[in-house]
Structure 1
Amino acid sequence: MTSRPGKRVAIVGGGPGAISTGLAFLQRGYDVSIYELQPVCKAIGGAVLLSTPVLAILRSYGLDLTNVGAPTVTYFKNKAGTDRVKLPFNTEVERRMGIKGWHYGVLRSSIFQKMLDLVFEGVIHADHKFTSYIKHDDYIELFFKNSHRVTADILISTDGIRSKWVVKPSWKGKPVPDNLKAYLTSILKDWAQPIPRFLEVTNFTTHVYRWEIYNRPSMKTWSSGRVVCVRNTMHPVSPYAAYGMGIAIEDGYFLARELDGVDLRDVRAVSAGFELYEKLRVDYVNHHMEFARFSGHLFHSVPRPLAYLRDWVFDYTPLLSGLLKRNYLRDAEEQSLRLTELQVC
C-alpha cells in the first residue's frame, strides 16, 4: 500500500457500502484504507435482494456473476396467498445490461465475501474504533481508540449505526416475549404458505435476534468539506424497499465515479465532486427511503376498520401495482438505462 498526497481515501466502516466504495476508488487508482470497528469485516443477516444496477456495478469491480444468486420474481400477496402484484421485468434493461430479470436473491454473507475477495491485502484495517477527526486546509487527520492516527485527503463515513429495522412497535424497556416462536406463530397462524414453513424450519435460538430502527429525517446534504457519507449513515432503508444493501453499493460507485481523476488535495475540486454525487443520489435515495417508510406504515399501522378498506383496495384495484411501479421501479429502471458505461450492448 502506498500513501500519495492527493490520492489518500480513508473509509470508516467495513460493511458492503464501505467495500463497494473502496473497490470503486481502488479501480480508479486511489490509495484506499478501510477502518472497521470489529475484529473482521463480516456480514450479518440472511437473504437480500440485489437489483440489476447493483449487480452491474459489482460486475464492473470484477465480481463474477455466474452462480451469484437466483433470478427472483417478486410478488406482493395478501395473507391468503392471493397475488396482489407481480413486479415486471424491463426487457430493455435486461438486454442492455446482459442480466436476466431484475432482482436476484442472494445470501448477504455469500455476496459480501465475494466482494471482500476483490480487496487488496492491506486495505482493510480491523479493530480500529474511529473516535474523531481534525480538518486541515490540505488534508484531514483521523484518530482511533487504539491511538492510531491517520492522515488522508478525504474521509468517507459508511458506518450504519442504528439503522436496523423491525416491524413490531417497540420502545425502551419493552419486554421481549418469553417464547418468541409461539408469539410469532400466534400472529401468523392464519397466513398462507410459505410463511408457516419459515416458522417451522427457523432455529429461534441462533437465527432470530432483535434489532431496533432509529428513523432519521431525510437530509439534503451528505458532505462537508473533506468529509462525505454513504450508506445508512445518512439513509436507513427498511426492507420494504428491498434496496438497503443495494443503495449502499451504488453510493460508493457513484461517489468514486464523480471524483475520478481529481487531485484530492484540491478542496474545491473535491467539493465539486461531492456536489455532483449528491445531485445524483440524495433525492433518488431519499425518495426510496421515504417510500419504504410509507409502505411500512401502510401495511402495519393502518387501524381497523381502515385496514379492511386498504385490503379490499389492494386486492381488487391496481392501486398497489401503480404505487410500486411509479415509486420504486420507474426510477431504478431509468437509473439502469443511464449507466451506459456498465452496459454490454
Structure 2
Amino acid sequence: MATMPDDPIVVLGGGPAGMAAALALHTVGQPVVILERYREARPAGNILNLWPPPLKALREIGVDTTDIGAPNHTTFQNAHGHVRADVQIPQHVLDEYGGGFIGLLRPDLYRRMLAALPEGMLRTGQEVLGIEDRGADVLLTLRSGETVRTPLLIGADGIDSIVRTHLWGPSPKRDHRLHIIGGYTFATVPEATWGELPLIHTRTVQGTYSSIRSEGRNGYQWWVLEAWDPATPPPEDLLGHARGLAAAFPGALPALVAATEPEHVQRWPIRDRVPLKRWSNGRITLAGDAAHATSPYAAYGAGMSISDGYFLAQRLAGVDLADTAAVVAALRAYETPRIPHTTSQVQQAYVLGRVFHHAPAPLRPIRDYVLDHTPFLQKQVGERSPGEIIDQLAEMGRDIRTPA
C-alpha cells in the first residue's frame, strides 16, 4: 500500500475544480494531494469569463489575479442592436473585483493556478481504477497496481467522472444539440468596443465578443453558437464556418472573426448531465463538472467549479479527518447550499439554449416579440443573475476562514 505523507485528502482531477479545491484545503490547513490521470494538467478550451465570486475565491486561495483579464459590461441584444437585458453589477463590486465579468484565456488561468500549487501537490499520470469507502477511510486502486489510502476523496474529474459513477451509478449525458465555435485575437479591430460584452441573437444563432487581457496584451475573444445535430460531423473549416455565421451580425463580430488565426479557434459540442440531488456519500464528494456540468449559456461553469473548492474548504476547516461523523457532516454542509445554486444555473442554461436555438420556426417571431417588448429577459438574466452574484459573495463571508 502506497500511503501518502500524512494520509492527505485526495482530489481526483487537475482542472480548475480540482486545483481550486486543493488550494483551498491547503489554505485552511488540511493536507491534500491532486491525482491527475494525464501527464500534465491541461486546459480544455481556449476562452473563458469569470464573475466576481470565483475571482474572490482565487484571491483567497493564493492565486495571483493581478491583471488576469479584462472587465466587461454584459448586455443581451437582438440582431438590430436593441438591448433586451442589461446586466448591472453594483459599483462597489466592480471596484473591488476590477469589473463584473472578466474576459481571459483559459490557459492563463491554468498557469496562474499551477504556479500557486505547492511543490508535490499535483501528481500526474495517476489513473484511479477502483474506489472503496471503508468507513474510516477510502482506498483507491491505481492502474499501476498501487493502492492509496485517504480520509476523504473529492471527485473533480469532469463530466465523465468515475467518482460520480461510483457514487450514483451511470447517468446519460444530456446533449443540447448545440455547438459553439470560439476564438481570440490580439489584432486591432476598430469596430470592437472595449469593455463591452454584447450577447447578440439572430433568429437561430448567438454571436458574442468580449475584451480579454493576456500577459499584458489586450485583445478580444468571440464565439458563435448554433443548433447542431450531434450525428453530423463537425465543420472541416471551423474558422470559415464561423465567418459565415458571423456575417449575419452587425458591428464588430465579423471583423473579429476575420482577424483570428486558425490555430486560435476551437469547437465544443454542448452537453451536460441532469443535476444530482446529492453529491456526497460517506467520505466521498464531488466538485466542478463532476457535480454540475454546465452549458456555456450559464457563462459560469468554471466559475462555479472554482467556488466549489472555496466552500468545501470552509466546511472542512478545522475538521478532524479521523472523525467520520464530522467529515460526513462537513460534506453535507458543503453540498446543501451548493446544489440548489448550481442546479438553477445548469437548468437555466439548458432552457435558454432551447429557447434561442430550438424553438419551432413559426414560434420564433413570437419569441422575439416577447423578448423585445417585455421585461422577461431583463428579469431573468439582467436582474436575477446579478442578484445571485451578490448573494454568492455574501455567502462566501469575509474570507475563507470566516464564513458568513
TM-score by length of structure 2 reads: 0.78
Q: 2:6 aligns with which of 4, 7, 26?
A: 4
Counterpart CA distance in 1 for 2:318 and 2:236 is 57
Matched, 1:249 2:306: yes
Q: Percentage identity across aligned positions? A: 30
Code of the aligned partner of 2:345: H
Deviation at 1:227, TM superposition (A): 0.7
Residue aligning to 1:27 = 27
Code of the aligned partner of 2:98: K
Q: 2:106 aligns with which of 101, 108, 112?
A: 108
Q: 1:188 aligns with which of 246, 255, 267?
A: 246
**Structure 2 SS opposite 1:29:** coil
Residue aligning to 1:83 = 83
Matched, 1:200 2:198: no
Query: Are the equivalent residues in 1 in contact too, given 2:27–2:61 (CA < 8 A)?
Result: yes
Give CA deviations for 1:221-261 in whole Å, capped at 9, x if unaligned: 00111110000002111111110100000001101111111
Unaligned 5+ segments in structure 1 are: none
Counterpart CA distance in 2 for 1:217 and 1:193 is 37
How has the CA–CA distance of structure 1 residues 254 and 203 changed in structure 2, closer, same or farther, with 3 Å as cutoff? same
Matched, 1:148 2:115: no
Which runs of structure 2 are paired with 1:305-324 in the superposition (5 Å)?
A: 305-324=362-381
Residue aligning to 1:170 = 229
Residue aligning to 1:14 = 14
Code of the aligned partner of 1:196: P
Between 239-248 and 262-271, the greater mean CA deviation after superposition: 262-271
TM-score by length of structure 1 reads: 0.90
Runs of at least 4 residues of structure 1 off by over 6 A? none
**Structure 2 SS opposite 1:264:** coil
Deviation at 1:210, TM superposition (A): 4.2
**Structure 2 SS opposite 1:128:** coil
Unaligned 5+ segments in structure 2 are: 161-172, 180-225
Code of the aligned partner of 1:250: S
Deviation at 1:187, TM superposition (A): 3.5
Matched, 1:36 2:36: yes
Counterpart CA distance in 2 for 1:72 and 1:312 is 27
Code of the aligned partner of 2:285: V
Counterpart CA distance in 2 for 1:16 and 1:32 is 15
Query: Are the equivalent residues in 1 in contact too, given 2:15–2:156 (CA < 8 A)?
Result: yes
How has the CA–CA distance of structure 1 residues 133 and 225 changed in structure 2, closer, same or farther, with 3 Å as cutoff? same
**Structure 2 SS opposite 1:38:** coil
Matched, 1:289 2:291: no
Deviation at 1:62, TM superposition (A): 2.3
Counterpart CA distance in 2 for 1:320 and 1:300 is 15
Q: Provide the aligned length of Structure 1 versus Structure 2.
A: 338
Deviation at 1:337, TM superposition (A): 2.4
Residue aligning to 2:387 = 330
Counterpart CA distance in 2 for 1:54 and 1:34 is 20
CA RMSD of aligned residues (A): 2.3
